[in-house]
């Protein structure tokens, strides 16, 4: 049996998950990264996207809207700005979030704000495509 890594998923409201899993994939600022037991220690900013948790052959997915991950060889903690199980995510709400982010991109006053809003649009569209 392969080693497991302890995974804690925390949103501002509550601890959503705390268990040992086979692998966690998180949306890092530079792209998605897989984390298994023995991973090198690091802290990474997270962008909006999906966390995919694999445990004993079962995939569980969560939508997050940014945050950061602290990773070491035995533990990964994700502190998310917002986190929802994909089973609770409503397509109408997701479509509205995409529309709102597109409006924010158009209304942005600086290039940095425009780029940030554009990245959120892209990330939300990736989540939408996963349905």
The pLDDT of residue 2: 67
- pLDDT, averaged across the chain: 92
118: left (phi over 0), alpha (psi -120 to 50) or beta: alpha
By the 8 A CB rule, do 12 and 23 touch? Answer: no
Q: CA-to-CA distance for 11 and 103, rounded, in angstroms?
A: 26
The pLDDT of residue 1: 46
Q: CA-to-CA distance for 37 and 17, rounded, in angstroms?
A: 17
* pTM for the predicted model, two decimal places: 0.79
Q: Which residue has the tokens 């035995």?
A: 74
Q: CA-to-CA distance for 120 and 43, rounded, in angstroms?
A: 21
**DSSP reduced 3-state for 27:** strand
The pLDDT of residue 75: 97
Assigned CATH topology for domain 5-86: ATP Synthase; domain 1 (2.60.15)
The pLDDT of residue 131: 72
Instruction: Give tens-digit pLDDT for 115-124.
Output: 989 988 988 8
Instruction: Give tens-digit pLDDT for 79-110.
Output: 999 898 888 878 898 899 899 999 999 999 99
Instruction: Give tens-digit pLDDT for 23-64.
Output: 999 999 888 999 999 999 999 999 888 899 999 999 999 989
């Amino acid at each position: 049996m392969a080693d497991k890594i302890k995974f804690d998923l925390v949103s501002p409201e509550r601890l959503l998950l705390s268990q040992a899993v086979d692998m966690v994939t998180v949306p890092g600022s530079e792209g998605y990264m897989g984390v298994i037991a023995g991973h090198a220690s690091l802290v990474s900013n997270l962008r909006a996207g999906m966390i995919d948790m694999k445990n004993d052959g079962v995939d569980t997915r969560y939508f997050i809207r940014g945050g950061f991950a602290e990773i070491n060889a035995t533990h990964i903690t994700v502190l998310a700005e917002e986190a929802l199980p994909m089973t609770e995510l409503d397509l109408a709400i997701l479509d509205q979030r995409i529309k709102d982010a597109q409006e924010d991109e158009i209304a942005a006053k600086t290039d940095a704000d425009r780029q940030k809003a554009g990245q959120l649009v892209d990330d939300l569209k990736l989540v939408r495509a996963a349905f």
